[in-house]
A and B are shown apart, each in its own frame.
Chain A
Amino acid sequence: MILVFAETQEGKVKKSAFEAVYYGAKVAADQGTTCTALLLGQAADGGHLGRYGASEVLQVDHPSLSAFDSSTFSKVLASVAQDKKATLVILPDSANGKSMLGQVAILLKAGAIRGANALPEIKEGGMEIGRAVFSGKAFAICRVDTGVAVISLAGNTLKPVAEGNEVVVKKVETVVPSPRTRVVNVRRTTGIVPLPEAEIVVSAGRGMKDPSNWGLVEELAEVLGATTACSRPVADSGWRPHHEHVGQTGIAIRPNLYIAIGISGAIQHLAGVNSSKVIVVINKDPEAPFFKAADYGVAGDLFEVVPQLTLALKRFKEAHH
């Protein structure tokens, strides 16, 4: 069977968990088995996971799971995986998912694949899954022959569709080791889709000239329902927070649409964004290297082009609603 760690945030199932369950259910159907989702800690809407293909939703609700401790979460996930004889364990490719991946693989003596970006293939008894390597500059096929694989699923690999029915969440009792770390504070910008999950990203670079001009970027992002990002020089100079920095040494993203404004397109930046399905580049320099990696380009002054694009999108939205 296939076990999915359905990550939650503030008591609600995260968007990435629905995608992971949808992916897990697809693999289960291919392999003639079933997909179970596991909730660790409290979650009000766990039953929704059934709609995306989980035939069973389990929940371990214990005070020690009220805040994230990587080791405790990994041990509980691994122990449920062992009980259920899971052959594939799927985690989100989030900060928490990535931090657990190696530990769960060790506990299960399993192969580990970070950032799977396609459905697995079974070949000669082993499981082969694609992933991005060299910070997005290349792809690889990773093979696991141990019989059990633990993977983290890259965001936007499949578009989850609600095809099934709500299920009743089943509580399970298991040993929960005491956490050895203590979360004392969480500071999060609320109401914004995190970058790795965002379907549309609007990103800007040094061409913005000054952080006070960021309103242009935010207005465009708002009309698109997009998450905002920035290039490394912008984060380094403190114009924008580091968690918005996309690129080789920042966050690697693969949205459906990436709009780059005033970013020249250094190879290190491209590495983090070139898995985006469609790239639009707006830059006043027609020789900017980013145009070579773009699907659509606008060679013009961003201070004129971006407001025009925002207006055009508003007209489009009004005409289509």
Chain B
Amino acid sequence: MKLLVAISQTPETTARIAFKDGGTAFDSTGVNYIMNPYDEWYALVRALELKEEKGGTVTVIHCGPATNDVTLRKALAIGADDAIRVEMEPASAYSVAHEIAAHAADAGYDLILTGKETIDFNGALVGSMVAGLLDLPFISHVSKMVMQGDTVLVTRDIEGGVEEIEVSGPFVLSAAKGLAEQRIPNMRGIMSAKTKPLQVVSPVGTDLPDRHIRFSVPPAKSAVKMIDPSDMDTLVRLLHEEAKVI
């Protein structure tokens, strides 16, 4: 199988979120970056498992500047065969999807995987847009995938349950929790990643149909009102009269 995994880089889950330049840009001071967890733990690892079961190759693609090579090297250390970095500052989901689709258009991938969303912009758009640009079937929020001969049985998370779907032929999926188990790169993987191919390509480029123009952090909560644990009637009264939520 020929597999492509689209990878994003995000601030780590515990990073302090702040903005600069009058709230127009993310303040990356002191922020550590990681591979987007949905891309790494689920999409990439499931792709590697498929390669181990069926043979083939796993390519990772990322749109970003040279400083992000560390994230691609980590993907190679976990087990990807080769990496492609599109030299650009990703400005919207569309600009990223456009580059991935341009690369994948004639490359003959059997499956394109990405995380269900990034944990920074939470757009949940790149997989859907790549499918739209390439006119491939798209299955989102995939938490399980089993090969059954020429067809694939996919389990997809929906509100309050799951849906099981059959698909054959190339498709795009977005990965949710449960699709695979996180893998920690071992020393051999880290050493071999240094010599695996990492190709840098120029972006095809596109217009931007949408952009984030201003950011803000939520105002600090006013102090919590502590209620005596033996007086739940007071809590109920406050929820009714003051908060007006019951």
Decide whether A and B assemble into one complex. Answer: yes
The residues of A with any CB-CB pair to B shorter than 8 Å are 68-71, 74, 94-96, 98-107, 109-115, 128, 132-135, 137-146, 149, 180-189, 192, 194-197, 200, 224, 242-243, 245, 248-250, 252, 256-257, 267-268, 271, 274-275, 277-278, 280-281, 291-301, 304-305, 308-309, 311-313, 315-316
Structural contact, B213 and A141, CB atoms closer than 8 A:
yes
Interface with A: B56-64, B163-171, B184-192, B195-203, which one? B163-171
- Asked whether any CB of chain A lies closer than 8 Å to the CB of B108, the reply is no
CB proximity of A319 to chain B, nearest CB, Å: 10
Complexed CA–CA distance, A294 and B235 (Å): 13
Which residues of B line the A interface, CB within 8 A? 11, 13-14, 17, 19, 37-38, 93-94, 97, 119-133, 135-141, 143, 153-154, 156-167, 169, 171, 174, 177-178, 209-218, 221, 224-227, 229-230, 232-233, 235-240, 243, 245-246
Instruction: Check B214–A100 contact: CB distance below 8 A.
Output: no
In the complex, chain B residues whose CB is within 8 Å of the CB of A197 = 159
Are A113 and B140 in contact, CB atoms less than 8 angstroms apart? no
**Interface SS of chain B: helix, strand, loop or mixed?**
mixed
A321 to B226 CA separation, bound complex (whole angstroms): 28
Which residue of A has the minimal Cβ distance to B153?
A184
Report the separation of the CA atoms of residues A113 and B123 in the bound assembly, to the nearest whole angstrom. Answer: 7
Contact A107 B132 (CB under 8 A): yes
Residue of A nearest to B166 (CB): A182
CB atoms of B14 and A299 under 8 A apart: no
26 A-B Cβ contacts within 8 A?
A70-B128, A70-B137, A70-B139, A99-B139, A99-B140, A100-B128, A102-B127, A103-B132, A104-B132, A115-B122, A134-B120, A139-B217, A140-B216, A142-B213, A181-B154, A187-B161, A188-B160, A188-B162, A249-B37, A256-B245, A278-B245, A291-B226, A297-B227, A301-B229, A304-B229, A308-B232
5 additional A-B pairs beyond A138-B17, A186-B162, A297-B224, beta carbons within 8 Å, are A71-B131, A143-B211, A188-B160, A296-B243, A313-B246
A contacts with B: majority SS: mixed
6 tightest Cβ-Cβ pairs between the two chains A and B? A300-B229, A102-B128, A188-B161, A111-B210, A106-B132, A194-B159
Distance, CA A196 to CA B216, complexed state (A): 23
User: Are B131 and A183 neighbours in the complex by a CB distance under 8 Å?
Assistant: no
In the bound complex, do residue B139 and residue A181 qualify as a contact, i.e. CB atoms below 8 Å apart?
yes
Q: Which of B19, B217, B225, B236 is within 8 Å of A316, CB to CB?
A: B236
With A71-B138, A105-B129, A186-B163 in contact, is A295–B225 under 8 Å at CB? yes
CB of B218 within 8 A of CB of A112, answer no
Evaluate contact between B177 and A257: CB separation under 8 angstroms: no
Chain B nearest Cβ from A270, distance in angstroms: 11
A148 vs B8: C-alpha distance in the bound complex, in angstroms? 27
Q: Report which of A185, A249, A281, A313 forms a contact with B119, defined as CB distance below 8 A.
A: A249
Cβ–Cβ < 8 Å partners of A133 in chain B: 120-122, 212, 215
Q: Which residues of B contact A298 (CB under 8 A)?
A: 226-227, 229, 232, 235
Q: A128-B213, A196-B159 are in contact. Are A70 and B138 (CB under 8 A)?
A: yes
Q: With a CB–CB cut-off of 8 A, which chain B residues contact A296?
A: 224-227, 235, 238-239, 243
Which residues does chain A contribute within 8 Å of B156, judged by CB atoms? 95
